[in-house]
């Protein structure tokens, strides 16, 4: 039964973490959302106070707290800069799960999460059916960016979105099992939904790079989503189904590293799987920990193993390009120099930093679905910095950032190409 | 009914999106950084223009609503905690830097401008706004003026008070009052700005603030002096001042803080040292060279080992270690209590001895660091605020710290304000006549008592 007392009891498990926030308010300096709205409920300190309020039964409005808790990009900037080391993302994801468990999912969320996302084969079939219809409902907006916009009134609003790839990666390369080459290394490759369905070329670029460096690849068939959309919505059931599905496919003993070209998948597997997998069996927990420990962003892997020589000094000349730090690499995994080193090792290019390369692009996964105007306002700031850099190409390491930055550039009519770091690097290997 | 009508009145003036009525917004305006139990207001308002701010004050006056202005909510004495029947006025939408004047070296700002952003903007114009409170990355200038905030540069450059050239503020009825000017000299009328600075929101609501800017120092040099005896560190501070040198920063760390910072950041601090002084001199390059050499010599004469920063990276490392003090201490226990009782700098050794004694007596852990050059130490108590016994011992320790600071000729608060936490000790420092006079002043200027009631002078 729903009662404030029961909710307080549920939230009690967060108390030891909640108490560590000393209300200094330093998170206001780095929160991209607070920068837009100036509302305390939008910054980490306010949200932590609200959760504390529910736990202490000073507050009855659980739905109000849930709504405010969902207004967050989960970019992790607050946690990365917190003087007292509050594990903000851990708290928020656990609290979202508790609140969703308490208040329930909406019928639409139930359909999307439990009916589709948690069933990878069905999800793939549905999107395969939808793909051919896109040409009728959408018209190309910008060829360089590969964006489209709606022909008619649509649920996508003013967005310039990217259409589903005609052939997703799981059709192009259903699975792959290659032996280690010159490097002597073998990696698991976690594709991720956006690369599979929207940016298969990024996945192919990653596979090309790995083959070039003599790295053996284990790419299991029928991979599922990493689970972040479900975690973000507090939908534990779907998250655990997805986790179990992926655990059955990725055996840590078969590879030295688990790689992904998606910053968000990397952060989710490395940081969130171990955190949220408490209901698993001991063996599964051990597997999750082993996988998390082996998880790397591809650039991080290339630099760590010495396959790409360190150093940021690029050859003089070359076309200028600028780099956007995805929050999930910069804030969650402290991966900042490695993608730049991979770019420095890409012939014909010269890295030119934009102002505030590490400020959030505003995507925040499902945040941009629910709060598009805020998301776009942050995106426009990013857009201004990209423009001011004068570069015709912006590289990044996350397909979600690519999607949002492309949307912003396309709506503004800017002729700037958005590429994944690995696409840039792979081109130079020809 | 009155409530709904009033909410509508505010919404008509400010726009409905600037009026917060839901409990899950109001709770987020119930606290500040002092770590006291919070108190949600009845309503929170976020005016988008100065005109709206004034009209909101006017309505509060007409309706007798207590109001508390809130900038970044980083107050360390409970000054931003509102009344349950009152209104919180947010300045977060009033964040325009209206003017930076290079010829006359001043800036005009709205109250919600963030301190560090003004600092950066003035630097881009070749000018310098020195006050640097620890929360400068988020604190607002309105809050800084209301609290007369200090910072690391206090010894040489002074505090917020020394940079306020003029103000406009709304009185308790919502009338706009002007004081001061854009000129270096101005003796027109009462020095109301002097009264408003540090008044903790009890006398008026700031509209625009005119701040003095100065040329930035051309060069700076930083060093760390490592001491085996606390006494030597304090005598060094006195000797530097006696040599007529004013370092831009002259910071102190005790052994407990040194060890905690080192455990946290592995910055290479000497764990065994009894005390550290972190010193920076700035100014003309030739003067900096000379003063740095002289300071180094004085430190050595007092038995210190001195490491001089050779480049910008080493200099940054020194100040990173200082900045790590609060984060490092904060991670030891769930809660921290940060004090700012201040003594004449010659009394620092006595104050440090007293702190050691108080920590032992109250069975608490106290790390002490702070602005040695101006006698403004930050004894920081680490504890767990969920435990009533620990809370009680912290309260006893704080009271003992105040008592000792006053005995040594010091003051209750160097830079955090009296707010709610220290106001009951006010009489111990200033006596009954001062309180009575202050309250008469307050009653004359704010007869309904709506401006941040209970703060600064109690009542």
pLDDT, tens digit (0-9, with 9 covering 90-100), for A204-252: 999 999 999 999 999 999 999 999 999 999 999 999 999 999 999 999 9
Shared-domain flag, residues B141 and B184: yes
The reply to whether B437 falls in a domain is no
Inspect the interface and report whether the beta carbons of B24 and A49 lie closer than 8 Å: no
The reply to whether B322 falls in a domain is yes
List of chain B residues whose C-beta atoms are within 8 Å of the C-beta of residue A67? 24
The reply to whether B315 falls in a domain is yes
Cα distance between residue B432 and residue B439, in whole Å: 11
Shared-domain flag, residues B268 and B315: yes
A13-41 pLDDT, tens digit each: 899 999 999 999 999 999 999 999 999 99
List of chain B residues whose C-beta atoms are within 8 Å of the C-beta of residue A80? none
Chain B positions contacting chain A at CB under 8 Å are: 22-25, 27-33, 35, 38, 46, 72-74, 90, 92-93, 95, 112, 114, 116, 135, 137-138, 326-327, 330-331, 334-336, 384-386
Q: What is the pLDDT of residue B1?
A: 57
Shared-domain flag, residues B101 and B170: yes
Shared-domain flag, residues B182 and B273: no
The reply to whether B192 falls in a domain is yes
A336-347 pLDDT, tens digit each: 999 999 999 999
Residue B385 tokens read as: 């605020």
The reply to whether B431 falls in a domain is no
Residue with tokens 């999800």, as numbered in its chain:
A123
Give the start-to-end residue ranges of the domains of chain A.
Answer: 4-103, 108-162, 169-225+245-304, 319-427
Q: What is the pLDDT of residue A127?
A: 87
Residue A282 tokens read as: 């001991």
Inspect the interface and report whether the beta carbons of B330 and A25 lie closer than 8 Å: no
DSSP SS3 for B21: coil
Q: Given pLDDT bands bounded at 50, 70 and 90, which one contains residue A325?
A: very high
A38–chain B Cβ distance below 8 A for any pair: yes
Domain finish residue from B189, B212, B235: B212
Cα distance between residue B452 and residue B419, in whole Å: 10
Under the phi-then-psi rule, with left for phi > 0, alpha for psi from -120 to 50, and beta for the rest, what region is B319?
Answer: alpha
The reply to whether B438 falls in a domain is no
Domain topology for A169-225+245-304: Rossmann fold (3.40.50)
Closest of B204, B230, B318 to residue B269, by C-alpha: B318
Domain finish residue from B28, B56, B90: B90
Q: What is the pLDDT of residue A129?
A: 85
The reply to whether B428 falls in a domain is no
Shared-domain flag, residues B204 and B104: yes
Closest of A262, A269, A273 to residue A363, by C-alpha: A262
Q: Which of A24, A46, A60 sits opposite B28 (nearest CB)?
A: A46
Number of domains in chain B: 4
A20–chain B Cβ distance below 8 A for any pair: yes
List of chain A residues whose C-beta atoms are within 8 Å of the C-beta of residue B142? none
Residue A107 tokens read as: 């019928």
List of chain B residues whose C-beta atoms are within 8 Å of the C-beta of residue A16? 334
DSSP SS3 for B318: helix
Cα distance between residue A372 and residue A367, in whole Å: 7
Cα distance between residue A312 and residue A351, in whole Å: 9
Q: Which of A19, A49, A68 sits opposite B334 (nearest CB)?
A: A19
Q: Which distant-in-sequence residues (6+ apart) come within 8 Å of B156 by Cβ? A: B246, B247, B248, B249, B282, B373
Q: What is the DSSP string of A274-334?
A: HHH-TTS-HHHHHHHHHHHHHEEEHHHHHHHTTSS-----PPS-SEEEEE---HHHHTTS-
List of chain B residues whose C-beta atoms are within 8 Å of the C-beta of residue A64? 22-24
Cα distance between residue A307 and residue A310, in whole Å: 9
Q: CATH number for the domain including B264?
A: 3.30.70.3450
Domain topology for A4-103: Fumarate Reductase Iron-sulfur Protein; Chain B, domain 2 (1.10.1060)
- Please, which residues bridge with residue B376 across strands? B342, B371
Cβ atoms of B371 and B155 within 8 Å: the answer is yes
Cβ atoms of A215 and A180 within 8 Å: the answer is yes
Residue B203 tokens read as: 């006398």
Cα distance between residue B223 and residue B304, in whole Å: 12
* Arithmetic mean of pLDDT, A81-103: 94
Q: Which distant-in-sequence residues (6+ apart) come within 8 Å of A23 by Cβ? A: A45, A49, B31, B32, B33, B35, B73
Query: Can you list the positions of beta strands (E) in A196-246?
Result: 215-219
pLDDT tens track of chain B, all 459 residues?
Answer: 579 999 999 999 999 999 999 999 999 999 999 988 999 999 999 999 999 999 999 999 999 999 999 999 999 999 999 999 999 999 999 999 999 999 999 999 999 999 999 999 999 999 999 999 999 999 999 999 999 999 999 999 999 999 999 999 999 999 999 999 999 999 999 999 999 999 999 999 999 999 999 999 999 999 999 999 988 998 999 999 999 999 999 999 999 999 999 998 888 899 999 999 999 999 999 999 999 999 999 999 999 999 999 999 999 999 988 989 998 999 999 999 999 989 998 898 899 999 999 999 999 999 999 999 989 999 999 999 999 999 999 999 999 999 999 999 999 999 999 999 999 999 999 999 999 999 999 999 999 999 999 999 997
Cα distance between residue B239 and residue A248, in whole Å: 71
Shared-domain flag, residues B225 and B301: yes
Shared-domain flag, residues B106 and B208: yes
Q: Which of A16, A23, A28 sits opposite B35 (nearest CB)?
A: A23
Cα distance between residue B65 and residue B85, in whole Å: 7
- Using the CB atoms, write b or e for A39-56: b if 16+ within 10 Å: bbbbbbbbbbbbbbbbbe
In order of A35, A328, B354, the CA distances from A373 in angstroms are 14, 22, 56
Closest of A56, A54, A35, A31 to residue A44, by C-alpha: A31
Say what the alpha-carbon torsion angle A252, A253, A255, A261 is, to the nearest 10 degrees.
Answer: 0
Q: What is the pLDDT of residue B54?
A: 98
- In a 10 Å sphere around its CB, with 0-12 CB exposed, 13-18 middle and 19+ buried, how is residue B283 labelled? middle
Domain finish residue from B310, B327, B344: B327
Cα distance between residue B281 and residue B283, in whole Å: 7
Under the phi-then-psi rule, with left for phi > 0, alpha for psi from -120 to 50, and beta for the rest, what region is A102?
Answer: alpha
List of chain A residues whose C-beta atoms are within 8 Å of the C-beta of residue B33? 22-25
Same topology between domain A4-103 and domain A319-427 = no
Q: Which of A23, A49, A84 sits opposite B331 (nearest CB)?
A: A84
Q: Which domain holds residue B32?
A: 2-90
Shared-domain flag, residues B337 and B321: no
Shared-domain flag, residues B257 and B350: no
The helix or strand, by DSSP H or E, that contains position A259, with its residue range, turns out to be strand A257-260
Interface test with B, best of A4, A67, A84, A103 (most B CBs within 10 A): A84
Q: Is A82 a residue whose pLDDT tops 50?
A: yes
Largest CA distance in chain B: 74
Cα distance between residue A62 and residue B331, in whole Å: 30
Shared-domain flag, residues B101 and B205: yes
Cα distance between residue A129 and residue A159, in whole Å: 22
Give the chain A residue nearest B25 (alpha carbons). Answer: A41
Closest of B402, B325, B341, B331 to residue B375, by C-alpha: B341
The reply to whether B85 falls in a domain is yes
A376-402 pLDDT, tens digit each: 999 999 999 999 999 999 999 999 999
Q: A363: distance to nearest CA of chain B, Å?
A: 24
Under the phi-then-psi rule, with left for phi > 0, alpha for psi from -120 to 50, and beta for the rest, what region is B334?
Answer: alpha
Q: CATH number for the domain including B14?
A: 3.30.43.10
Domain topology for A319-427: Rossmann fold (3.40.50)
Cβ atoms of B266 and B311 within 8 Å: the answer is no
Kind of pairing between the strands at B106-109 and B376-383: unpaired
Q: What is the pLDDT of residue A1?
A: 46
């Amino acid at each position: 039964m729903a009662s404030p007392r029961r909710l307080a009891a549920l939230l009690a498990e967060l108390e030891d973490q909640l108490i560590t926030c000393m209300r200094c308010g330093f998170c206001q300096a780095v929160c991209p959302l607070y920068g837009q709205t100036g509302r305390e409920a939008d910054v980490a300190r306010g949200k932590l106070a609200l959760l504390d309020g529910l736990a202490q039964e000073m507050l009855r409005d659980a739905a109000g707290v849930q709504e405010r808790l969902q207004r967050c990009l989960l970019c992790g900037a607050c946690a990365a800069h917190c003087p007292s080391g509050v594990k903000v993302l851990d708290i928020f994801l656990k609290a979202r799960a508790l609140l969703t468990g308490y208040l329930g999912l909406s019928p639409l969320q139930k359909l999307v999460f439990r009916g589709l996302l948690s069933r990878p084969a069905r999800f793939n079939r549905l999107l395969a059916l939808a793909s051919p219809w896109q040409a009728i409902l959408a018209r190309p907006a910008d060829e360089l960016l590969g964006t489209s916009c709606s022909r008619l009134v649509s649920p996508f609003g003013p967005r310039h979105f990217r259409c589903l790839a005609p052939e997703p990666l799981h059709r192009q390369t259903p699975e792959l099992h290659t032996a280690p080459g010159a490097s002597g290394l073998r990696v698991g490759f976690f594709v991720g939904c956006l690369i599979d369905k929207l940016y298969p070329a990024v996945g192919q670029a990653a596979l090309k790079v790995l083959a070039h460096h003599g790295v053996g690849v284990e790419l299991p068939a029928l991979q599922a989503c990493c689970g972040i959309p479900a975690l973000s919505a507090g939908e534990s059931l779907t998250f655990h189904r997805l986790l179990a599905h992926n655990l059955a496919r990725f055996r840590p003993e078969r590879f030295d590293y688990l790689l992904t070209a998606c910053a968000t998948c990397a952060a989710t597997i490395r940081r969130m799987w171990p955190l949220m997998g408490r209901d698993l069996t001991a063996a599964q927990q051990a597997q999750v920990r082993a996988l998390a420990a082996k998880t790397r962003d591809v650039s991080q892997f290339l630099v760590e193993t010495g396959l790409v020589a360190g150093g940021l000094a690029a050859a003089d000349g070359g076309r200028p390009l600028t780099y956007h730090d995805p929050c999930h690499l910069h804030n969650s995994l402290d991966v900042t120099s490695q993608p730049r080193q991979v770019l420095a090792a890409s012939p014909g290019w010269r890295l030119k930093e934009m102002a505030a390369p590490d400020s959030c692009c505003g995507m925040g996964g499902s945040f941009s679905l629910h709060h598009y105007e805020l998301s776009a306002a942050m995106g426009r700031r990013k857009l201004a910095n990209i423009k001011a850099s004068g570069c015709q190409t912006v590289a990044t390491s996350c397909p979600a950032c690519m999607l949002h930055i492309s949307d912003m550039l396309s709506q503004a009519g800017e002729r700037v190409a958005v590429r994944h770091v690995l696409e840039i690097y792979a081109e130079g290997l020809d | 009914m009155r409530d709904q009508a009033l909410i509508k009145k505010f919404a008509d003036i400010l726009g409905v999106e600037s009026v917060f009525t839901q409990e899950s917004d109001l709770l987020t305006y119930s606290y500040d950084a002092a770590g006291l139990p919070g108190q949600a207001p009845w309503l929170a308002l976020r005016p988008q223009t100065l005109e709206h701010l004034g009209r909101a004050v006017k309505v509060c006056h007409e309706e007798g609503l207590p109001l508390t202005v809130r900038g970044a909510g980083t107050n360390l004495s409970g000054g931003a905690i509102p009344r349950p029947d009152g209104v919180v006025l947010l300045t977060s939408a009033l964040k325009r830097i209206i003017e930076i004047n290079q010829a006359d070296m001043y800036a005009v700002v709205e109250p919600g401008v963030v301190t560090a952003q003004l600092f950066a903007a003035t630097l881009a114009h070749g000018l310098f706004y020195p006050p640097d409170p620890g929360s400068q990355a988020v604190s607002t200038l309105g809050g800084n003026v209301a609290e007369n905030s200090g910072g690391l540069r206090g010894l040489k450059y002074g505090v917020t008070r020394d940079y306020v050239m003029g103000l406009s503020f709304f009185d308790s009825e919502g009338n706009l009052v002007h004081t001061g000017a854009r000129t270096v000299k101005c003796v027109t009328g009462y020095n109301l700005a002097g009264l408003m600075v540090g008044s903790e929101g009890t006398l008026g609501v700031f509209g625009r603030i005119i701040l003095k800017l100065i040329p930035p120092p051309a060069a700076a040099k930083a060093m760390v002096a490592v001491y085996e005896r606390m006494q030597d560190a304090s005598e060094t501070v006195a000797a530097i001042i006696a040599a007529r040198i004013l370092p831009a920063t002259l910071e102190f760390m005790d052994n407990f803080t040194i060890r905690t910072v080192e455990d946290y950041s592995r910055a290479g601090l000497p764990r065994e040292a009894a005390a550290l002084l972190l010193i920076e001199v700035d100014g003309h390059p030739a003067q900096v060279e000379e003063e740095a050499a002289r300071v180094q010599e004085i430190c050595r004469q007092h038995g210190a080992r001195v490491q001089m920063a050779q480049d910008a990276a080493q200099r940054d490392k020194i100040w990173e270690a200082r900045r790590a003090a609060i984060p490092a201490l904060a991670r030891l226990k769930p809660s921290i209590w940060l004090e700012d009782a201040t003594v004449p700098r010659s009394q620092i050794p006595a104050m440090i001895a007293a702190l050691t004694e108080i920590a032992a007596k109250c069975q608490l852990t106290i790390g002490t660091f702070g602005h040695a050059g101006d006698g403004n130490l930050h004894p920081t108590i680490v504890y767990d605020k969920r435990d009533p016994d620990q809370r009680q011992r912290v309260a006893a320790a704080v009271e003992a710290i105040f008592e000792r600071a006053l005995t040594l000729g010091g003051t209750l608060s160097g830079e955090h304000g009296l707010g709610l936490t220290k106001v009951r000790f006010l009489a111990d420092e200033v006596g009954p006549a001062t309180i009575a006079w202050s309250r008469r002043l307050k009653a004359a200027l704010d007869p309904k008592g709506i401006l941040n009631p209970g703060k600064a002078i109690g009542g």
